């Protein structure tokens, strides 16, 4: 049976892919990445529209739409966002959340836009894709307070600990790991991954960022998610085939419209 992987988080609309975007999708498919989710955030709603256009063009590409915490200060037409979110190839809302590390948008606006997107996700019954940096506990408290467990979701580029992942599991949230887990100095990330059950884990690239070994320093692309899955298998003492099968099943369960 052929290996199937899902890149649960990439940014194919970004400028680094302008020269070979279609080829990137083809290389991913050739590497066994049978589905990928391009994240429609940034520049108001233009990123969302680009993500949907890519998903409409490629049968193996799906999209999310949302407002990144860095863009929380922008003026957003929420009526239009909801219309985009209901598109049949949109499988999730985000990435949204809180970022207290960069702090590129006022905190109160980040909180307001995050809460509004939780409400949107619940209204249309699609899961949330969470960006959390130096804000894990508040993100979790916000999700609990606003009943995000009704739709579930994922903390992408997970950087909290296994105890935090257990709290997420209680409200139906998964975690995903990018190529960072392959970095030579990322032993702490590997330790975290080792202690989280595989049924709570997905894989991602966060392309064009965080290219894994052996592509470190280059532009990342969805085909490279294979290296992340291989490293998780090594860390957990499992076969690559088992990691691919279970992380793919996890993604298809969470993003249930991605069939």
Nearest-angstrom CA–CA distance, 186 and 74: 34
**Which of 17, 69, 6, 66 shows the shortest CA–CA distance to 41?**
66
For the record, the structure tokens of 239 come out as 């076969």
Please list the pLDDT of the chain residue by residue as tens digits (259 residues). Answer: 678 999 999 999 999 999 999 999 999 999 999 999 999 997 789 999 999 999 999 999 999 999 999 999 888 899 999 999 999 999 999 999 999 988 789 999 999 999 999 999 999 999 999 999 999 999 999 999 999 999 999 999 999 999 999 999 999 999 999 999 999 999 999 999 999 999 999 999 999 999 999 999 999 999 999 999 999 999 999 999 999 999 999 999 999 999 7
- 5-254 in CATH: which number? 3.20.20.140
In DSSP terms, which residues pair with 10 in a beta bridge?
38
Query: In the chain, what are the domain boundaries?
Result: 5-254
DSSP state of 256: T
CA angle 101, 102, 105 (to 5 degrees): 120
Cis previous bond, 95, omega within 30: yes
pLDDT at res. 132? 97
Residues recorded for the chain? 259
- Displacement of CA 258 from its chain's centroid (Å): 14
pLDDT at res. 235? 98
pLDDT at res. 137? 97
Contacts (Cβ under 8 Å, ≥6 apart) of 210: 157, 178, 179, 180, 220
């Amino acid at each position: 049976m052929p290996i199937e992987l899902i890149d649960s988080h990439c940014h194919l609309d970004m400028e680094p892919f302008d020269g070979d975007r279609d080829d990137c999708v083809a290389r991913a498919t050739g590497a066994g990445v049978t589905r990928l989710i391009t994240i429609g955030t940034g520049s108001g709603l233009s990123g969302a529209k680009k993500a949907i256009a890519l998903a409409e063009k490629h049968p193996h590409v799906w999209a999310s739409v949302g407002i990144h915490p860095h863009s929380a200060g922008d003026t957003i037409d929420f009526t239009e966002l909801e219309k985009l979110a209901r598109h049949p190839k949109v499988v999730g809302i985000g990435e949204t959340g809180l970022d207290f590390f960069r702090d590129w948008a006022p905190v109160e606006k980040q909180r307001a836009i995050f809460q509004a997107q939780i409400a949107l996700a619940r209204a249309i019954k699609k899961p949330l894709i969470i960006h959390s940096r130096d804000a894990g506990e508040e993100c979790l408290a916000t999700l609990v307070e606003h009943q995000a467990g009704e739709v579930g979701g994922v903390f992408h580029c997970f950087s909290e600990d296994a105890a935090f992942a257990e709290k997420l599991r209680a409200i139906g949230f998964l975690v995903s790991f990018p190529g960072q887990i392959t970095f030579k100095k990322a032993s702490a990330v590997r330790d975290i991954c080792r202690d989280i059950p595989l049924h709570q884990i997905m894989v991602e690239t966060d392309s064009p960022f965080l290219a894994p070994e052996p592509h470190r320093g280059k532009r990342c692309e969805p085909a490279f998610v294979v290296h992340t899955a291989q490293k998780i298998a090594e860390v957990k003492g499992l076969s690559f085939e088992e990691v691919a099968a279970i992380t793919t099943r996890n993604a298809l369960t969470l993003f249930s419209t991605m069939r």
